[in-house]
Amino acid sequence: MVRFLRHTRAHEYPHLIRRWRQVARATGLILSPYAASGGWDLFYLEPRRPRPDAPSIYLSAGIHGDEAGATDGLLEWATMNPDLLKTLNLLIFPCLNPWGLVNNCRMDAEGRDLNRGFHNRTIPQIDAQLRVMAERRFDLALTLHEDYDALGMYIYEVPGRPGHWAETLLQAAARHVPTDTRKKIEGSSARAGVVRRAIKPHLMPNWPEAFVLHFHHAARTFTIETPSEFFLDDRVAAHMAVVTKAVVLCRKEAAQPRSKSKKP
């Protein structure tokens, strides 16, 4: 059986943004520029006004331009769920490295790995992104990635609120992409596709996006990794499945009454 790619324009940034404009019109989200890099404008999406009692969710993709399954996965999820997007407090960064996406390159136009630049404000586009994020708190943060060395899908989960979600998220995606079974992933111990460990500010001197989210913004932080060598449509579907399941879990958690700590 011959399989044909559906996502044939995955590295066309103008096409990506045109489709996000369609999402914005369909959902009432605002698509706003916040910086420029490598000759391209960068954008984020958010509701016109906060939605009372709705969970707050951070979503990003494309910080590495050679990870097109992540950018298309996030876009497809948003396109397929306009009614859901109207019910959430979202902050979406659809592509953090457009020059890299267009050139199918991990780095930006200056040769920088942007996912090692969140420890300071010296990179203008990261400084601008952090200003957009300032004072915001999220119940859930998902950063979508891909990995050429991966043998399947895996997830970094930073322990936050009680209860772990990574195994459930991997299970949701398993019909599209199998779980990476390696016991060591990127030098860290892994179990059934999950890398889970507490992190401290000095663990990595050059912070990835997940660090600034965990330490300053998010109650739950996940980095999602699909295997770049797998079929693109399957990777897109896996990202969609993970985002869908994570939002379901987040809404369920938000609907539960929070236990109050007893005063001494």
Query: pLDDT, tens digit, for every residue of 108-122?
Result: 999 999 999 999 889
**Whether pLDDT at 263 is above 50:** no
Query: pLDDT, tens digit, for every residue of 63-94?
Result: 999 999 999 999 999 999 999 999 999 999 99
**Whether pLDDT at 262 is above 80:** no
* pLDDT higher at 110 or 205: 110
Lowest-pLDDT range of 78-82, 196-200, 249-253: 196-200
- Please state the rounded mean pLDDT for residues 14-29: 98
Alpha-helical regions (H) of the chain: 13-27, 68-80, 82-85, 98-102, 124-133, 166-173, 209-216, 232-255
Distance of CA 133 to the CA centre of its chain: 14
Domains and CATH numbers, the chain: 13-255 (3.40.630.10)
Alpha carbons within 13 A on the beta-carbon side of 228: 15
- Please state the rounded mean pLDDT for residues 144-171: 97
Q: Could you report how far apart the first and last alpha carbons of the chain are, in Å?
A: 67
SS3 content of the chain, % helix, strand, coil (to 5): 35, 25, 45
Closest CA to 147 of 111, 187, 175: 187
Give percent of the chain with pLDDT exceeding 90. Answer: 86
Chain-wide mean pLDDT for the chain? 94
